[in-house]
Structure 1
């Protein structure tokens, strides 16, 4: 039976009135499992209006009281975490274990945001001038919007919503219409945890809903994670309408394998980071860069051997290493890149299209290219599927240039036993996040996540202390309490004596 999903506005389900709907596939079978309403501009404006009113009272709650809502939310999510993971897996296609990790990384940011009483503390200078004190405070922006991708339907909404709410803002979430059920359930759990109705609204939709959030004057800021083309549109539109914007785009993450690296460890890292979640991660490693011919030949042999052992299966198959892609367009795109790579002259060592998969669904196996050159599109562009490319480097300096000169600068890793090499690499490489013998360098929640170059548009990163700066504005107060002494008017600029 096909389920009918809803928006979540003013603390209750909202069926939508636009008449437009999207289809939510079951990636395991290829069939439609649900219909999701797509909001019109007017419906989106109504959700914004509700958030505006709800935010006024929420902003007056003291930070500790808001933190208690986050803590209650954590307890509620834990109580039904297994069910949430199964729901996420069934709509996205990632394995249940991977879906649980999606939830966990989101909860870690909620835990960080629960420290908001400390994070909101401003600065204070006693007696900056005779009898004058100067102090600052961080205050919420008002209503902020989050536009999140399909590949992490729990983690990224929580990365955005948790600090935004903790700071006293109302949050309007526009999740991906491909896998929308978990974001709605998270909003329901926030309400059960004590969040006032309307402080977190969830609106499904396409470009019409997104552009309404970006242009409505009552929305003060916009967050986005997705493709670079859309990230640039979101950033340009939002900033043109006077909003703060924090937009994260595509990636082409490299893993440098030095001749002294532990090849077993490097191979394990490439297999997990390249093919986990079917490669549908912005931090997936999609380019292996072995340094030297001997390293390249040894690494290739190990990769081919390990790929042969991988199991592609249904997302609820506990033995599967990864499941299907999210939809038919994703499958078509990845297949097209395999054809493109061959046409460009790369060697398709392992063709993921030739595997044996469950009937139906959007399955494709792990693929491996070798002898990929930097000018090829399969190296320049983000494939977003289980495709790993080997780009051979003659020496360290050439390996360093590959990620540094790429248009994307999200993440990079180096595997080496040499501390000098690792230190030089981390200082010189032109990317935002770096791993040393760590294949997916996503920071812990109290640091900040963000790439460079065309992987990010905006000034501040996600989560960590950057998120508190993004979701608040600073007010600085200079204060003096006269003690009955009248000095008369002054016509010169005040200075601190």
Structure 2
């Protein structure tokens, strides 16, 4: 075992969970045992909540300009330890080092936005009558919880950590039991940056802790990122307890490719989108709608896909179970009549035979009713469906239950605007394979890709993590009583 036993992080200290039940943390790169993670009990969550409750009065009343000083220092520490964090992400998640570096760089950008929050929450004040002022100000929600997935061990936690804390909340976070090591390192960086004890806490575990978070009476808001099935469960459980909840689910992102698209640029973007992070991201392209005569572009996509080599510029999928599930999707599509143009099944990396790898896979002549066309594969696989018109392509895109992202590849501005206006997705790209908005623009999908109001990052997150307080003040007794009194 390369690393010590994973511990919970409560009130500024790493502590053992109150249960002896654990799971192994296996590196998908080579199958080696990295550590073991505890499956905490509800009593462990209670300890974290008590620590947050004790820290909240001082932290929430601290001026926001003082709170964000922690995140100026945290940003510097992320930059200092970028390579160390990237190595850890790669080990426990399976990403390439380059992808892991990019993930930490995104954490830095997210933190930069949090540092700007004092300029975004200044409130409003107006003299509404002679000597009478009305004022608004944003105050923290209280104790918030984030439940985060395995595919981005650093970035997704940092979707919420800097903003929620800079806005004055205290936090409990539950990492995926598959990748708990990176978040423990982040806890150390936050402490080094000067974050007071109890403001940020980690409770490791499985569905027991997820359900306990949703039910805990002292947790006021919950965010979740993961599959749609679990997102629905978390949203229902949390809102049933009258909590604020924002739950992000799965995706089936469609790329619409028109005949006038730049062939080389399109092929590079499509392959990068479908194979980046081994396809294990909710913004990955897993469905392409080819409109009319685009066979020359499909050939270039295949050529580009063959340049993506497992273990070299393609990372591992999270575990053997994921590998088997992804390969089953490919096999089933082939059995149903689809044509495998590039086959990533049975990928093996020399010297890492126990790793979990799937090569880039391109499947043509897929029909919308096939499972590979409807369900989230979460692997480096793209299925190609054929359409005779742009309207038919949009209809195919809009018929899927998800609504995270969609892109169109064209050199025609009117076609691009046509897709932007009609595609049923929260994030749209034009000649962009992964249309993730950059800060301060917020991240969030539609339909069965998101449950709750608002988005999880950017300006939209400020409304989720704060409450609006309104005050009316009168200092002129000589004005007497009027209709406002």
Whether these two folds match at TM > 0.5 is yes
2:297 is aligned to: 299
Displacement after TM superposition at 1:259 (Å): 1.0
Q: Indicate yes or no: 2:307 matched with 1:322.
A: no
Q: Indicate yes or no: 2:407 matched with 1:406.
A: no
Displacement after TM superposition at 1:482 (Å): 3.0
Displacement after TM superposition at 1:357 (Å): 2.4
Give deviations 1:52-90, integer Å, cap 9, x for gaps: 111111011111111110000111111111011001100
Structure 1 residues without counterparts, runs of 5 or longer: 314-319
Give deviations 1:149-195, integer Å, cap 9, x for gaps: 00001001011111100100001110111111111111111111010
Aligned match for 1:347, one of 316, 321, 339: 339
Displacement after TM superposition at 1:145 (Å): 0.1
2:278 is aligned to: 278
1:147 is aligned to: 147
1:7-406 to structure 2, matched below 5 A, reads 7-126=8-127, 128-292=128-292, 294-295=293-294, 297-313=295-311, 320-358=312-350, 359-406=353-400
Displacement after TM superposition at 1:305 (Å): 1.9
Displacement after TM superposition at 1:120 (Å): 1.5
Give deviations 1:86-145, integer Å, cap 9, x for gaps: 01100000001100111111221111011121122112222x133321111100011000
Instruction: State how far apart, in whole Å, the 1-side matches of 2:363 and 2:80 are.
Output: 43
1:472 is aligned to: 466
Q: Contact (CA 8 Å) 1:412, 1:433: kept in 2 or not?
A: yes
Q: Contact (CA 8 Å) 2:79, 2:108: kept in 1 or not?
A: no
2:443 is aligned to: 449
Displacement after TM superposition at 1:44 (Å): 0.8
Displacement after TM superposition at 1:36 (Å): 0.9
Instruction: State how far apart, in whole Å, the 1-side matches of 2:175 and 2:43 are.
Output: 18
Greater Cα shift, 335-344 or 322-331 = 335-344
Q: Contact (CA 8 Å) 1:290, 1:299: kept in 2 or not?
A: no
Instruction: State how far apart, in whole Å, the 2-side matches of 1:354 and 1:80 are.
Output: 36
Instruction: State how far apart, in whole Å, the 2-side matches of 1:257 and 1:208 are.
Output: 44
Give deviations 1:277-330, integer Å, cap 9, x for gaps: 1100110011111110x21x21222122222222111xxxxxx21111111221
2:415 is aligned to: 421
Classify the secondary structure of the residue corresponding to 1:290: strand
Instruction: State how far apart, in whole Å, the 2-side matches of 1:422 and 1:495 are.
Output: 52
Instruction: State how far apart, in whole Å, the 1-side matches of 2:240 and 2:18 are.
Output: 30
Give deviations 1:181-237, integer Å, cap 9, x for gaps: 111111111111010001000111001111111111100000000000000001111
Displacement after TM superposition at 1:485 (Å): 5.5
Instruction: State how far apart, in whole Å, the 1-side matches of 2:263 and 2:223 are.
Output: 39
Give deviations 1:432-474, integer Å, cap 9, x for gaps: 0001111111001101110000000001101111111100000
Q: Contact (CA 8 Å) 2:347, 2:357: kept in 1 or not?
A: no
Give deviations 1:356-406, integer Å, cap 9, x for gaps: 423221112111111111111111100000111001111111111122221
Classify the secondary structure of the residue corresponding to 1:306: helix
Classify the secondary structure of the residue corresponding to 1:86: helix
Instruction: State how far apart, in whole Å, the 1-side matches of 2:8 and 2:391 are.
Output: 52
Classify the secondary structure of the residue corresponding to 2:28: coil
Classify the secondary structure of the residue corresponding to 1:434: strand
Classify the secondary structure of the residue corresponding to 1:69: helix
Instruction: State how far apart, in whole Å, the 2-side matches of 1:390 and 1:285 are.
Output: 11
Instruction: State how far apart, in whole Å, the 2-side matches of 1:307 and 1:433 are.
Output: 25
Q: Contact (CA 8 Å) 1:2, 1:35: kept in 2 or not?
A: no
Structure 2 residues without counterparts, runs of 5 or longer: none
Q: Contact (CA 8 Å) 1:45, 1:212: kept in 2 or not?
A: no
1:435 is aligned to: 429
- The normalised TM-score by structure 2 is 0.97
Deviating 4+ runs (over 3 angstroms): 484-487
Greater Cα shift, 138-147 or 329-338 = 329-338
